[in-house]
Structures are given as structure tokens and as C-alpha cells.
């Protein structure tokens, strides 16, 4: 079965991920904050929308759901009960959803929001993770209705997946995240090289995503809170009460909140 995963751009830097089954011309979308770009793509490629998966309740991830339901009334909406959408399947940690015979496990990845979930699709021997705003390339989400402890645990949980896992974050924040990473680890050659590559991709209108876990372990400081170079970089900028990974992670998140 040929399933293609394609990023649809929305707003200024959102990605609505679309899973396309080339065999039956059906599609699933993740976090449609806007309906218009999704409808345009569906109509241009003669696709039928069959499901919507929601990771969290923020409007830039749910704002297009109602209009898409109107246009495609048979669409199966999957979300947590607190995501503020009209849903057909309520999910939580440990739930499963299906995509044309493939199975996606639902993980609770709280922190950015209290009820944030991720969808881990097992397809052709590889995991494809739709992680919303919990994890970005080179970064992680801000804490809104969750806690920093929850966000740390969520990132750590994702970090334990196989190295070839592919992550599909919902925003093109990679350049800013890598610039922040280099403010912590100025000698990190992987970050510097990736920044140059990503800048060229974005200038051409290309997505810097998805990314592998192996890649993120090299360039994402939020996955490196137990690495000496990251710890020393944080200590240069703030006084840490200790160097426990959670302490370093929390300091990183606060530094990123104020990074220009």
C-alpha cells in the first residue's frame, strides 16, 4: 500500500500533515487549524477526507475542523475529550486508531497543554510520530496548561523511541530553534551544519520536516539536558541549583522563552 505523508502549510508557520492513500484516494489530516488549504489540496488532487486526528486544543490546530466536517460529513474525528471539537472517537494514553489497516498508538505527551497527545503510526517497520507542539526540530513547546515536569517527561518518553523514528511537528520553527541551540552549544557542528541546510530549504519553500530521532539527539538541546556540553552552556547563562536533567531542561525552556 502506498501511503504518502505531505505537509500542507497554514497560517505563517503551521504544518497540517496529510496522510494520503494513493490506492483509494483517501486522506487523513492532523491538526487542521485552517480548512481552506486542506480543501484546496483535497479538491486539486481528487481526494476524499476520511479522518482528522487532533493533538491538542489550540485554535491553530483545531480551527478548521468544523468546516471540514461540513464539507466531508463522513469524516471520522479523533481527539481527546478536552480538545473542544465535535469528535467521533475520544482517545487518551494507550488508545489506538487505524489508518487503512495500519495502527497508530496514542501517547499522552502533556506539558505544552495538559491534554496533549501524539499519534505513533507504525508503518512498514518504522514509527511516524505526529507530535503537535510537544516536540519541534531543535526545540519543544512552551508550557501553557501543563507543567515543565510533564513536558520534560514527555520529551524523555519520545527520546526512548527507536533512532529511525520520524517526527512530524506542527510548526516550522527549526531555524529559530537551532539559533537558540547554538547560543547554548556554540561549538556544536551538527547544529551549525543543519542550520545552513535548513535555511536553504526554507528559502526554497521546502519543509525542514520530518526529522529522525537520531538527528534530534544531535541538534535538539531539549533532548540533551544530560549532555555535558549542554549543561555547561546553560551554566554560562544562569545559576543552576543543581545539574539534574530536569533542572537543566527547565532552565533551557526559560531561556528559550526569552530568546530573540
Residue 156, C-alpha cell as written in the block: 524523555
pLDDT (0 to 100) of residue 23: 95
* Residue 37 confidence (pLDDT): 98
Q: Which of 108, 66, 105, 104 is nearest to 87 (CA)?
A: 66
Using DSSP, state whether 20 is helix, strand or coil.
strand
Contact 177, 187 (CB under 8 A): no
Q: What is the CATH number of the domain that holds 8?
A: 3.60.15.10
Which pLDDT value is given to residue 158? Answer: 98
Domain total of the chain: 1
CA–CA separation, 27 and 51 (whole Å)? 7
Domain hosting 78: range is 3-257
Question: pLDDT tens digits, residue range 172-221?
Answer: 999 999 999 999 999 999 999 999 999 999 999 999 999 999 999 999 99
Query: For the chain, which ranges sit under pLDDT 50?
Result: none
In the prediction, which pLDDT does 139 show?
A: 98
Supply the pLDDT for residue 104.
Answer: 97
Whole-model pTM: value is 0.97
Question: What per-residue confidence (pLDDT) applies to 2?
Answer: 79
| pLDDT for the residue numbered 260 | 82
Picking from 164, 194, 169, 163, the residue whose alpha carbon sits closest to that of residue 180 is 194
* CA–CA dist 115, 107 (Å, integer): 10
Amino acid at each position: 500500500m502506498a501511503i504518502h505523508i505531505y505537509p500542507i502549510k497554514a497560517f505563517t508557520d503551521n504544518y497540517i500533515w496529510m496522510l494520503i492513500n494513493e490506492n483509494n484516494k483517501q486522506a487523513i489530516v492532523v491538526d487542521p487549524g485552517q480548512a481552506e488549504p486542506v480543501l484546496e489540496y483535497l479538491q486539486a488532487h481528487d481526494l476524499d477526507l476520511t479522518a482528522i486526528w487532533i493533538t491538542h486544543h489550540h485554535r491553530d490546530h483545531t480551527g478548521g475542523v468544523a468546516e471540514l466536517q461540513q464539507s466531508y460529513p463522513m469524516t471520522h474525528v479523533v481527539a481527546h475529550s478536552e480538545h473542544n471539537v465535535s469528535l467521533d472517537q475520544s482517545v487518551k494514553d494507550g488508545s489506538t486508531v487505524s489508518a487503512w489497516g495500519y495502527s497508530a498508538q496514542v501517547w499522552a505527551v502533556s506539558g505544552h497543554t495538559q491534554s496533549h497527545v501524539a499519534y505513533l503510526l507504525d508503518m512498514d517497520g518504522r514509527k511516524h510520530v505526529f507530535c503537535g507542539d510537544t516536540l519541534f526540530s531543535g526545540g519543544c513547546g512552551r508550557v501553557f496548561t501543563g507543567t515543565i515536569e510533564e513536558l520534560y517527561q514527555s520529551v524523555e518518553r519520545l527520546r526512548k523511541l527507536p533512532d529511525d523514528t520520524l517526527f512530524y511537528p506542527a510548526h516550522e520553527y527549526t531555524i529559530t530553534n537551532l539559533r537558540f541551540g547554538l547560543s547554548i552549544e556554540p561549538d556544536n557542528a551538527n547544529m551549525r551544519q543543519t542550520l545552513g541546510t535548513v535555511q536553504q530549504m526554507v528559502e526554497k519553500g521546502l519543509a525542514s520536516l520530518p526529522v529522525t530521532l537520531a538527528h534530534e539527539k544531535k541538534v535538539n538541546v531539549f533532548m540533551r539536558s544530560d549532555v555535558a556540553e549542554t549543561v555547561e552552556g546553560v551554566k554560562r547563562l544562569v545559576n543552576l541549583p543543581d545539574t539534574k536533567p530536569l533542572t537543566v531542561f527547565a532552565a533551557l525552556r526559560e531561556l528559550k522563552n526569552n530568546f530573540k
